Structure 1
Amino acid sequence: MSDLQPAIVLVRPQMGENIGAAARAMLNFGLSHMRLVDPRDGWPNPRAVAMASGAAGRVLDHAGVFPTLPEAIVDCAYVFATTARARDLTKPVMTPERAMEHARALSASGQKVAVLFGPERAGLENDDVSRANAIISVPVNPDFASLNLAQAVLLCAYEWRRQGDTTPAEVLELAGTELATAIEIGKLGDHYEERLEEAGYFFPATREESMKLSLRNLWSRMPLTRADVQTLHGVLRQILRKRDG
């Protein structure tokens, strides 16, 4: 993985399970650079390994452990601190989306970026936040603003991944078929129009053209597959067969 991805820095994490869950969240979105500052229960931590569950264990295997925050971020040109409160400090406050957009731009220019996450019970202290260049604040429900450690890591990791991802916002999954061509849909429309005309559907005559236009518009709006077209032809033939039989 790229050396230019941000370092995820867990400051004084308390529970091994939360460290492991954070590692899983990181790897879900392609991040592998974890740093730990003075973990409460020491390191390595078997509970973290158990929670990381498999592949994410490699994030823990390469995690850096530091006694203090300044040592953990000494090589970083830009530091984000995740906190729900500005702490009366004059700093830019960004959403995760904006922060990771900025982080990608910094990384692309060769600058090392770190994102700080505080201990589970109370979050980052003022001294921790004062060492950051900007604050990340998640726009959560103000009546219940608490996020657990892994959730906070996941939100930032997701935004980092999304900023560089080219996955289309929507795709149509075609199960063993293809979209019908304009000619195939046109013939389907002709089939229905002919049979409806025989049945006297287009009445009164003054509305015939507008009714046919509406039907043509209906067919063109539908994302029909070739299988759909064949089914609709078959449905109409069977109805007529029953009627005429």
Structure 2
Amino acid sequence: MSINKSFTESNFASVLDEYKYNLNLGDIVAGTIFSIEKKGFLVDIGIKIAGYLPYEEVLLSNNISNNYLHNINSITREFFLLAYNKSSQQLILSIKRLEYIRGWKRIKQIETENIILNLNIRSNNKGGIITYLEGIRGFIPNSHIARLSSIDERYIQCKILLADEKYNKLILSHKKALLCTTTNKLKIGDIVYGKITKVENYGVFIEIYGMPSLLHISEIGHKNIQNINKIFQVGNTITVKILHIDTQQGRLSVSTKNI
């Protein structure tokens, strides 16, 4: 079913005035699904104009199984009043839009409370991990995934890094969550051991309590270093001092100076 895009909110209001209905686009209404149609459901919302719920407006994931179709029939719940189809004289309803709004509201609350999450890993790609929070697709970039063998193949701890409802963008960080769980073990100025995981021309990456940390070349010593690869080797253990703990980005900066 195509929704009449040219039918404006003022047109819709005039139709409702004609029938003396106190409804507006964007309202949340209660209704009961009473019939399964070819491309959607008919919904009784207590007025003479029919309510219609297209299949594509049922779930955020759009994966509707036959079992789900059977179970949703006769259910009474809330719907989002999405539009009005003038040709069929039907109110177009949406569960997906309602769940989207409520999902983002819960995400904002989670962000405010700074909660550590344990989310199901749905899939991986070259850039990182795809997961879902409150029905909203989230992404954990590789740059925010600590290289830990202890990561469960199905679940990963993370915290919200960016939650932008306007652009439907949810970025999460495993490093940020991991650092929060280890802050009681670390503080600025501590002397700790770490394992070298990578050597670059600008510095050395070290794993400390599972957290990736950077020993910048400027913090290695008081002399200029010509070839950093001759000094450090992957797999070796090194003693460093904690310089900075970035709990927002989930990063550590360390130094070997004055130890």
TM-score, normalising length: structure 2: 0.21
- Greater share of strand residues, 1 or 2? 2
Q: Between the two structures, name the one with larger relative contact order (CA 8 Å, sep ≥ 6).
A: 1
- Greater share of helix residues, 1 or 2? 1
When Rg is computed on C-alpha atoms for both structures, the one with the higher figure is 1
TM-score, normalising length: structure 1: 0.22
